[in-house]
Every structure is written in C-alpha cells, then in structure tokens.
Amino acid sequence: MAFLIFVIGLLFGSFYLVLGTRLPKKENVVFSRSHCDSCNHPLKWYNLIPLLSYLFQRGKCSYCHEKISILNFVMELATGILFLVGYLMYGLSYDFYMYLIVISLMLIIFISDFLYMIILDSPLVVSSILVILLKGIYLGVPSALLSILHGIILFLIMYFIQYLGTKLFKKESLGGGDVKLSLVMGLILNLNLGLVSLILSTFLALPYSIASLYLTKNHEVPYGPFLAGALTIVYIFSPKFMALLDFIFSI
C-alpha cells in the first residue's frame, strides 16, 4: 500500500505541474495532449512515465533534444514522497485525506505563484468542495457548516487587511488569490488555527521579502506559497499549535 501511495503521488505530481504551468497560460489541460514545451511535439506514453522518462531521456526531449526542466523530476519525486509521508503518518484516514488536499494545494500554488505570480481559482474551488464534503462525511454536517463560517470570517479578516494595506501604501498590498486562499485555510483549520497560519506566513515570507528588496528590481513578493506553506505546517502540527493556544489563553 505504501508503494502504491508513492506511485500515485508521482502521477499526481506530474499532473500538478501541468496545472501550475499551463492553466496560467490559458492552455486546455483536460482535452489537449501532453507536449514538449520547446517544440510542442505530442508526447508518447513512454515519454510520460514519472521519474523514469526523465532519467532515460537524460533530461532532454526525445524529439528536439532541448533540455527538460529539472522541475519535472523534482515535482514528481517531491509529491510522491509527501504522499508517502502522509500515509505513514495517518494511514488511510480522515486526517490523511485532508492532508492530501492541503499538500496538493500547496504544491500547485508554489508552482503557479512563484512562476507566474498568480493563484489559480480552480484549485481553490476544488479544494473547498472536497474539504466541505470530507468534513460532512466524517465529522457531520454541523461541523462542515461551522467550517464554512470560519472560512468566511478568515476571508473577511484577510480582505480587511488587503483593504487597509492598499489604503496605506496607495497600491495593491495583497493579491485577490491570497485573500481567496484564506477562505480555504479557514475551512481546513477553522478560525483559531487559521489566524495562527496567517501570522506564521508573515514570518515565513520575511526572509524572502528582505532578499527580494536588496537583490531584485521587482519588489513584488509571491505571498501565496508562504500562506500555503504555513497552512501545511499548522495542519501537520495542529495538536502542538492548539496546545500552545490553550497555554496562551490560560495565562
């Protein structure tokens, strides 16, 4: 089962890379065939075997011999490992299925936001639906409805932060995708841990922001990956964060 989960992760990693790189360019990822990014030649099935195709082709396209981005190999391997780690941590359980949603969303946002400075709506919508269904099935409808309320409240808080920042700095302070992502974070974590993840994301983004300020001319920071990263950290270590919150509120 662990090996099967790893293989499934490899396949999904390849799919997430396609979503993160082609949807921002308005390419059809459902009906169009996979193709080389350099020569656009349609790829055969043996060109699409996760990890192995990249190794056998020595990182080059079989048709035009241009280099294939190492990101393909890294994304497939990372997703396979993360799926496997989740299975080893949780087994086939509610926590595992929620973990898969969190990890999948994080990976897609990392790709699309770092490369194109955009958080896609479709992964957010699909993730929201899956989270609500999962909570409704495993925890009951009242729990799912409460999570929706928490998601809306966290969304409104993030929207207020965006509005305030835009007024203060006279330019857009947060992207619309970042605000929408906060809704999903509220759905998954509920309000208390959702707020913790927002705070944690600022600390995660700080070193990158400082480096960007001094090393690049474009000072725009893709905030989505840090929000998604904070969401993942807080979800995995949620018992410890809840214990910390209980300790703080008990003082």
Given pLDDT bands bounded at 50, 70 and 90, which one contains residue 159?
very high
**Over pLDDT 70: what percentage of the chain?**
94
Three-state SS at 33:
coil
Q: What is the pTM of this model?
A: 0.90
Look at residues 53, 75, 92 and tell me which one is the last residue of a structural domain. Answer: 92
Instruction: Tell me phi and psi for residue 61, to 5 degrees.
Output: -70, 140
Residues 70 and 144 in one domain: no
Residue 111 resides in a domain? no
Residues 169 and 212 in one domain: yes
Rounded average pLDDT over 203-229:
83
pLDDT at 144 over 70: yes
Residue 109 resides in a domain? no
pLDDT tens per residue, range 172-202: 778 888 999 999 999 999 999 999 999 999 9
Helix 141-169 with 176-215: angle, nearest 10 deg: 50
pLDDT at 164 over 70: yes
Residue 107 resides in a domain? no
- How far, in Å, CA of 20 to CA of 118, rounded? 9
Q: Which domain holds residue 41?
A: 1-92
Q: What is the pLDDT of residue 5?
A: 96
Residues 163 and 248 in one domain: yes
Residues 29 and 141 in one domain: no
Lookup result for tokens 């992207």:
175
Given pLDDT bands bounded at 50, 70 and 90, which one contains residue 69?
confident
Residues 128 and 251 in one domain: yes
Q: What is the pLDDT of residue 54?
A: 82
Rg (CA), the chain: 20
Mean pLDDT across the chain, nearest whole number? Answer: 88
Residues 39 and 162 in one domain: no
Residues 243 and 127 in one domain: yes
Residues 140 and 215 in one domain: yes
Residues 235 and 143 in one domain: yes
Q: What is the pLDDT of residue 30?
A: 65
Residues 188 and 245 in one domain: yes
Given pLDDT bands bounded at 50, 70 and 90, which one contains residue 167?
confident
Residues 221 and 125 in one domain: yes
pLDDT tens per residue, range 76-102: 999 999 999 999 999 999 999 999 999
- How far, in Å, CA of 51 to CA of 56, rounded? 9
Given pLDDT bands bounded at 50, 70 and 90, which one contains residue 217?
low
Residue 204 resides in a domain? yes
Rounded average pLDDT over 48-60:
82
- How many domains are there within the chain? 2
